[in-house]
Every structure is written in C-alpha cells, then in structure tokens.
C-alpha cells in the first residue's frame, strides 16, 4: 500500500497528491511530502542498501516500485518544444508514478556512475604498458 495525501502546489495554487509513506517488509516508511521524494526520512538504510556511498534499492522496495509503475495508468509526457516533462493521469496514480519513477531514476544514476567507474578502470588497465625491467 502506498498512501497519498493532498498538498497544495506553491506555483499553481492547485491541490495535487504526493506519496506520504510506503509499507514494505511489514514496516511503514515515511516519504517526504515536499522536495526530493527519495530522501530516507526514517534514517539511512530504510529504503536503500549501501555499498560505500553507492545506494542500491532494497529488493522489497524494488518489487514495490515495479508494481507501482507497471500497474499504473499515469504516464510521463515530454514536450519537445519546451523540454518540459509532465505526468498525466489520475492524481493518486500520478503521485505513485512520480514517487516510483524518482526512486528508479536514482537507482539507475547510481548504477550508471558505478559502471562508468568500473569501465574506466578496465580501460586504464588495458592501456597500461608492461614495465620494462631492463636487459
């Protein structure tokens, strides 16, 4: 279950919905109702496992996010003229989509930077010439 609460947008003055919290691993987890919804309000390690500073989605949260995105009628629309991204759909489904999408984006960003670092190290290792030990 992903409870949503109404909140008033500061820019448009209209009421929208935001995810207030999620329930996974039989534990309620608070979600920020403003700003970055990937923050771990209940403490580091609540939503993510960490390998150093690299966040990785907990398997149970990964399943919840997958359900939240696949069983959802909201969609992300991109306006090529203005570059604006907008979520279209029912207010509750849009809130769930936004919450899930931001966590997935954070996860992929972390994985991408890790893969880039590993790739750079592999390329550097391949380019190193053997040391000359002398004749």
The mean pLDDT values, 10 residues at a time, for the chain of 135 residues are 52 64 80 76 84 81 87 88 88 85 81 71 69 54
- Annotate 27-49 with b (16+ C-beta within 10 A) or e (fewer): eebebbbeeebbeeeeeeebbbe
Distance between CA atoms of residues 6 and 20, nearest Å: 9
Model pTM score = 0.69
Check residue 12 and give its pLDDT: 54
Check residue 19 and give its pLDDT: 78
**What's the DSSP call for residue 58?**
-
């Amino acid at each position: 279950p992903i409870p949503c609460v109404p909140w008033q947008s500061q820019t448009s003055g209209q009421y929208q919905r935001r995810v207030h919290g999620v329930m996974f691993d039989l534990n309620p987890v608070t979600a920020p109702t403003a700003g970055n919804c990937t923050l771990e309000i209940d403490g580091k390690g609540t939503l993510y496992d960490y390998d150093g500073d690299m966040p990785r989605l907990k398997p149970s949260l990964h399943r919840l996010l997958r359900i939240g995105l696949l069983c959802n009628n909201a969609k992300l629309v991109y306006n090529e003229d203005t570059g604006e991204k907008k979520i279209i759909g029912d207010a509750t489904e849009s809130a769930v989509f936004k919450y899930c999408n931001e966590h997935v984006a954070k996860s992929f960003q972390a994985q991408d930077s890790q893969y880039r670092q590993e790739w750079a190290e592999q390329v550097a290792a391949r380019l190193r010439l053997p040391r000359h030990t002398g004749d």
